[in-house]
Amino acid sequence: MSQGHHQGFWTKYIFSTDHKMVARQFLLLALGMAVFGGFYAFLIRWQMAFPNQPAPFFGPVTPDKYNVIITMHGTIMLFFVGMPLLNAFPSNFLVPLMIGARDMAFPRLNMASFWMTVVAAILLMSSFFVPGGPAAAGWTGYAPLSASSEYTGVKIGAVLWLLSLAFVFISSSLGGINYLVTVVTMRAKGMSYSRIPLTVWFLLAAAFTFFLAAGPVLAGAFMLLMDNVFGTGFFLPFKGGEPLLWQHLFWFFGHPEVYVLFFPTLGFCLDIIAVFARKPIFGKKLIIGSTIAAIALSFVVWAHHMFVTGMNPTLVTPFAITTILISVPFAIIYVCMFMSLKGGSIRLEPPMIWVLGFLATFLVGGLTGIFLGAAGADIYLHATYFVIAHFHYTFFPSVFFGGYAAINYWYPKMFGRMLNKTAAILHFVLTFIFFNCTFWPLFIVGMGGMVRRIADPSFYPQFAIFSHLNVFATISAMCLISSQTIFLWNFFYSMKNGKKAELNPYESNTLEWLAQSPPPHGNWGPKLPVVTGDPYEYSQPGEASDWKSQSSYKGDAIHG
Amino acid sequence: MAAKAGTKKIKEITENKMEPAKLGILLFIAAEMMFFAGLISAFLVFRFSPAPWPPEGQPRLPIAVTAVNTALLILSAFTFYKALELLRKGKKGMYLLLLVTTFLLGIQFLIIQGNEWMKMVQFGLSIHANPYGGFFYGLVGLHGIHVFGGVLALLWVLVRSLMGAYNAQKNLGVDICRTYWFFVVGLWPILFGLIYL
């Protein structure tokens, strides 16, 4: 292929088809959008702790603005931070490198997928400048609120929101097809399916789940768009429409989407655990089998988001059963992770610390999910802050702890430099403490009966007893958001000034560490690596060193 | 025990089993199927609800013309199927003839559908009175857009064929276009049966 091939500024940095550049573009997009998502999180918390006092850098959070803010916070964090950070960025960067390919199967489709996401982000942000403002029906866009402008006063904003989501869904589906095709058709010699690292397996699981789930919600979005533009009334009761149908179509996608934002993190964690515990992964086949079971089950649990909507009560029990059942495969994977740690010679480097932090915090999110899957408990808890605390205890560890673990781990390969270790550890400690201080009180507040989706808590005198907890959570949230500046500084400062990274600083087995840091266009020298081993052959009895690379490829000797 | 993991017998992969583009289009079609499955399931919720369907005062849909149109669209799948088989046998002349036939059948499908659509608008099938009209225009329209996409792909393949890009051995582009065309054609009888009959 094209070693030393000359690339102009535009083809190298902007309309790049190189999977590594597309990955970095997705990463920067995610970090940029996270600033907005974080700011809206701050505004929500501010209003909960100090109702109707002007928020710094913003002003008073009035009810109409509050609706916009929660809608934007959810939409941005899931589709413009979570998905780029956990799916697009690592899939683009790691899939070709870890399977020994030179690029994606469809590099131009890859570029198109990134720019479609940019168009989606522009559509979403442009809705701030149209009459009526941005969508305000929540990130779930429940009909009939979202189906007609008479409820929220938003018309153009709702259309832009739907178009933006459509672009993200299509772009992510096309991206997913690209990753799947790449793995099936472009593996290096010797890279059999059983030798593919778990990170790639889980990225594929996420891509596969997403592209099966995206169709129905796109269909729903199409119908909602027709309701908004042509007044078809699919979801409007007074025209004979079915508002609950939107929720069914949305959650049929929405629940698998939860795992789309969780699978990649499981993959990173398993690969990082193997490297930093110097042990093979415990029960690799069990993990893959559990993942397949979880994917299958994830398509038949969606109605547990709808227990309180007035859907047919006969359906509640089957959905409660499938929901509780889906915790079994994840429990198995969790146990496999702990067993992989057990007896290992653990190296507490920043990526490993993030993984351990993930294991501790996500567990809380996973276990509280069981309360919400049980219909009886859910009916009491569903409309309260307990749900907010629960899903932030799942999403935040998954997207941020998992995302930071991945960035810390693969940063040397991406930029050829090491992150500052002290800053990385400080960032972890502060994030870990303030994350728990932000969301733990919300469990208590929620169990006490404080309802979510309210714009002004001072309107309800019975919630006054929670104000000290709300203030504590808000101050913690502000500290949590501020702590992220340490990461941003470290990320950008180390790119130019970090310590030069060795090719394989963590003594890892997987293929990406054999390429140059950063890998050149085309990744490998004239010859592709030939794979001779399993990715998890650590501390094998009788071997001189405690690791054994998957290939004997000598990358640095060939590159000029 | 020591050599267990190292000498484990694993099949070496020598050649790629599948054309990336072929697998890509199959996955793309799978995603499209999920999209239409969502729309069709939404349609079924209304179709089999206790309320009368079609609602009173709405015009009936043109069954006879559309049935003929459906038959012609299915014929186009057959001509496309034959076309590639002939190309693979090296019969380029017959291939081009059948490819042009497929292309023309695709265009006539769009013309007849568009014509019927215009008539429905004149007869007063409203898009915003209730979901009945919405589903007609939405589903038929979406399928029409897909056929239009297929016709554009066919035009591309046709132009490339006239430039001599394909032969008995090298015909992946035709194959991919044909796979997509099969999907577009195969979807229509389902929609026809559900919406019209």
pLDDT band at A310 (very low <50, low <70, confident <90, very high): confident
CB contact under 8 A, A184 and B23: yes
Q: Give which of A12, A199, A14, A194 is closest to A96, Cα–Cα.
A: A199
Give me the residue from A173, A181, A216 closest to B37, CB to CB. Answer: A216
Other CB atoms closer than 10 Å to residue A376's CB: what's the count?
11
pLDDT digits (tens, 9 = 90+) for A42-94: 999 999 999 999 999 999 999 999 999 999 999 999 999 999 999 999 999 99
**pLDDT exceeds 50 at position A557:** no
pLDDT digits (tens, 9 = 90+) for A375-404: 989 999 999 999 999 999 999 999 999 999
Q: Give which of B52, B20, B50, B33 is closest to B130, Cα–Cα.
A: B52
Q: Mean pLDDT in chain A?
A: 93
Residue A137 lies in a domain: yes
Q: What is the rounded distance in angstroms from the CA atom of residue B123 to the CA atom of residue B116?
A: 10
pLDDT digits (tens, 9 = 90+) for A7-47: 678 877 888 899 999 999 999 999 999 999 999 999 999 99
CB contact under 8 A, A215 and B36: yes
Domain that holds residue A372: 22-558
Long-range CB contact pairs, A537-545, < 8 A, 24+: A537/A280, A537/A509, A537/B5, A537/B6, A538/A274, A538/A275, A538/A277, A538/A278, A538/A279, A538/A280, A538/A509, A539/A278, A539/A279, A539/A280, A539/A345, A540/B2, A540/B5, A540/B6, A541/B1, A541/B2, A542/B2, A542/B3, A543/B2, A545/A507
DSSP state of A459: G
Superfamily of domain B60-195, CATH level 4: Cytochrome c oxidase, subunit III, four-helix bundle (1.20.120.80)
Residue A87 lies in a domain: yes
| Closest CA of chain A from B103, distance in Å | 26
**Residue-level pLDDT at A556:** 52
CB contact under 8 A, B27 and A190: no
Residue A12 lies in a domain: no
Residue A32 lies in a domain: yes
pLDDT band at A246 (very low <50, low <70, confident <90, very high): very high
Q: Locate tokens 């501010």: which residue? A: A46
CB contact under 8 A, A245 and B10: no
Q: Which of A232, A248, A546 to mutate to test the interface with B (most CBs of B within 10 A)?
A: A232
Domain ranges (residues) in chain B? 60-195
Number of structural domains (chain A) is: 1
Q: What is the mean pLDDT of residues A478-492?
A: 97
Write out chain B residues lying below 8 Å of A542, CB-based: 2-3
Write out chain A residues lying below 8 Å of B133, CB-based: 232
Question: Average pLDDT by consecutive 10-residue portion of chain B (197 residues)?
Answer: 37 58 95 96 91 81 93 97 95 95 97 92 84 91 96 96 92 96 97 91
Q: List, in order, residues 6 or more apart from B25 with CB less than 8 Å away.
A: B176, B179, B180
**Residue-level pLDDT at B17:** 63
Q: Give which of A43, A75, A73 is closest to A59, Cα–Cα.
A: A43
| Closest CA of chain B from A369, distance in Å | 27
Q: Give which of A143, A328, A153 is closest to A223, Cα–Cα.
A: A143
| Closest CA of chain A from B45, distance in Å | 8
| Closest CA of chain B from A530, distance in Å | 10
Task: Estimate to the nearest angstrom the gap between the alpha carbon of A392 and the chain centroid.
Answer: 12
Give me the residue from A215, A252, A533 closest to B31, CB to CB. Answer: A215
Strands (DSSP E) along A124-270, which ranges? none
CB contact under 8 A, A534 and B5: yes
| Closest CA of chain B from A215, distance in Å | 4
| Closest CA of chain A from B173, distance in Å | 15
Size of interface A-B (CB pairs under 8 A): 144
Residue A545 lies in a domain: yes
Q: What is the rounded distance in angstroms from the CA atom of residue A117 to the CA atom of residue A87?
A: 13
Residue A13 lies in a domain: no
**pLDDT exceeds 50 at position A3:** no
DSSP B25-58: HHHHHHHHHHHHHHHHHHHHHHHTSSS-SSPTTP
Give me the residue from A177, A213, A232 closest to B28, CB to CB. Answer: A177
B41 residue type, one letter: S
Q: What is the rounded distance in angstroms from the CA atom of residue A271 to the CA atom of residue A340?
A: 10
Q: What is the rounded distance in angstroms from the CA atom of residue A139 to the CA atom of residue A75?
A: 5
Write out chain B residues lying below 8 Å of A220, CB-based: 38, 42
CB contact under 8 A, B12 and A186: no
Percent of chain A with pLDDT over 70: 98
| Closest CA of chain B from A232, distance in Å | 4
pLDDT digits (tens, 9 = 90+) for A336-373: 999 999 999 999 999 999 999 999 999 999 999 999 99
Q: Give which of B69, B39, B21 is closest to B178, Cα–Cα.
A: B21
ipTM of the complex: 0.92
Chain A residue with Cα closest to B134: A232
CB contact under 8 A, A223 and B3: no
Residue A11 lies in a domain: no
Q: What is the mean pLDDT of residues A521-528?
A: 88
**pLDDT exceeds 60 at position A514:** yes
Q: Are A535 and A514 in contact (CB under 8 A)?
A: no
pTM of the model: 0.93
Chain A residue with Cα closest to B133: A232
Write out chain B residues lying below 8 Å of A187, CB-based: 13
DSSP state of A515: S
Q: What is the rounded distance in angstroms from the CA atom of residue B124 to the CA atom of residue B59?
A: 7
Give me the residue from B12, B38, B131 closest to A233, CB to CB. Answer: B131
Write out chain B residues lying below 8 Å of A181, CB-based: 20, 23-24, 27
Residue A14 lies in a domain: no
